[in-house]
Amino acid sequence: MGDKVRFHFDEHVPFLIAQALRRRGIDVTTTQELGLRGVDDHAQLSHAASGKRVMVTADADYLRLHASGVAHYGIAFWRQASCGRRELIRGLVLIHDVLDVDDMRQRLEYL
């Protein structure tokens, strides 16, 4: 298996999710911590890709970026209406435990 998946959270994903993953030893960066709040979605996705990080978001604009072929190292799309915070954490832990960086490249996972 290759390198472990690492995540970058869009500004709409609650910080407590990042904290929960970090307690499990999972590498997470957040938009807020990196001073990227207000940066457009394409730039956010490019930033995540530069670090080979999976973008975690609830923003449908990322679905359009994926469909347009923009290069990325994975998007985990959080469907808030049907997936609570606990389920989101479980889904991200599963991605981390089962897939590697190369598996997630150009991949879109719905949570």
User: CA 79 to CA 88: how far, in whole Å?
Assistant: 9
* Residue 28 bridge partners (DSSP): 7
97/81: higher pLDDT:
97
Please state the domain count of the chain.
1
What tens digit of pLDDT does each residue of 13-55 get? Answer: 999 999 999 999 999 999 998 777 888 889 899 999 999 999 9
User: CA 72 to CA 82: how far, in whole Å?
Assistant: 25
95/11: higher pLDDT:
95
Percent of the chain with pLDDT over 70: 99
Token couple for 72? 């990325």
Would residue 89 count as lying in a domain?
yes
User: CA 3 to CA 37: how far, in whole Å?
Assistant: 28
Which domain covers residue 52, as residue numbers? Answer: 6-110
The residue assigned the tokens 């469907």 is 79
Would residue 66 count as lying in a domain?
yes
**pLDDT reported for residue 1:** 64
